[in-house]
């Protein structure tokens, strides 16, 4: 745990992984994210203050995977009677196929794309987010993602990711035991080993980005265009 396992590979990222286990993994992500990722608090603190009932706030979810977070955010906004338009992008065709196959939700769209594709198209969004993406990236890739997400966001960019620690590894090892028939437990433990510490992220993040504590085992990398209360 002292050093990041940068060369470790998650099974679900392999092109020849078991498709049935991969589909179960996408389905189980919804449970894992709801229980552990803390997006309800992030929605209330970071997103809800930006929303209005009159005009739509636009949000880009980079690396949206199976699409559960994009759908969840749209549903929360709808329950609050606020307008939110969410675009989820993922370069993996398998993730895109799963997300696009979900029942249609008003205000949610999925694309198979990289953030660089959207920049070339001249697109921008009020908010850009990612969830559990940073640990997949090597330092140069992470810095590129930050630059692209900053360029795509008009108001703020939020990257929520794991924080490497022995306690996180030990607790997730036990908590993930019920998730059978998928890659959740094995890949989750690999993800923790691959994740960055706050000090490591601080060295990589360019000026204007802040690392904020989010939960005992998560950290938030934030860029706010309009200031701390944006």
Q: Is residue 181 part of a domain?
A: no
Q: What is the CATH number of the domain that holds 104?
A: 3.40.50.150
DSSP H helix total and E strand total for the chain: 9, 7
Per-residue pLDDT of the chain (230 residues; tens, 9 = 90+): 899 999 999 999 999 999 999 999 999 999 999 999 999 999 999 999 999 999 999 999 999 999 999 999 999 999 999 999 999 999 999 999 999 999 999 999 999 999 999 999 999 999 999 999 999 999 999 999 999 999 999 999 999 999 999 999 999 999 999 999 999 999 999 999 999 999 999 999 999 999 998 888 999 999 998 644 44
In angstroms, the first-to-last Cα distance of the chain is 35
State residue 203's pLDDT score.
95
Please report, for residues 15, 34, 50, 94, 105, the alpha-carbon distance to residue 67 in angstroms, rounded to integers and kept in the order given: 19, 13, 22, 12, 11
Q: How many structural domains compose the chain? A: 1
For residue 126, give its domain range.
18-163+197-224
């Amino acid at each position: 745990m002292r050093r990041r396992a940068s060369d470790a590979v998650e099974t679900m990222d392999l092109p020849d992984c078991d498709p049935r286990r991969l589909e179960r993994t996408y389905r189980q992500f919804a449970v894992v994210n709801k229980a552990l990722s803390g997006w309800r608090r992030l929605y209330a603190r970071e997103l809800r203050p930006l929303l209005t009932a009159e005009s739509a706030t636009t949000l880009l979810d980079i690396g949206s995977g199976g699409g559960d977070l994009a759908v969840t955010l749209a549903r929360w906004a709808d329950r609050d009677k606020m307008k939110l338009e969410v675009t989820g992008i993922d370069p993996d065709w398998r993730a895109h196929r799963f997300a696009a196959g979900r029942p249609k939700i008003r205000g949610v769209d999925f694309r198979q794309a990289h953030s660089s594709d959207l920049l070339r198209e001249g697109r921008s969004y009020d908010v850009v987010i990612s969830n559990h993406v940073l640990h997949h990236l090597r330092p140069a890739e992470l810095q590129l993602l930050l630059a692209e997400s900053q360029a795509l966001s008009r108001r703020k960019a939020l990257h929520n990711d794991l924080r490497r620690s022995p306690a996180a590894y030990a607790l997730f090892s036990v908590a993930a035991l019920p998730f059978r028939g998928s890659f959740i437990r094995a890949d989750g433990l690999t993800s923790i080993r691959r994740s960055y510490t706050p000090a490591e992220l601080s060295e990589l993040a360019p000026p204007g980005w802040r690392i904020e504590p989010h939960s005992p085992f998560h950290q938030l990398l934030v860029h706010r265009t309009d200031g701390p209360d944006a």
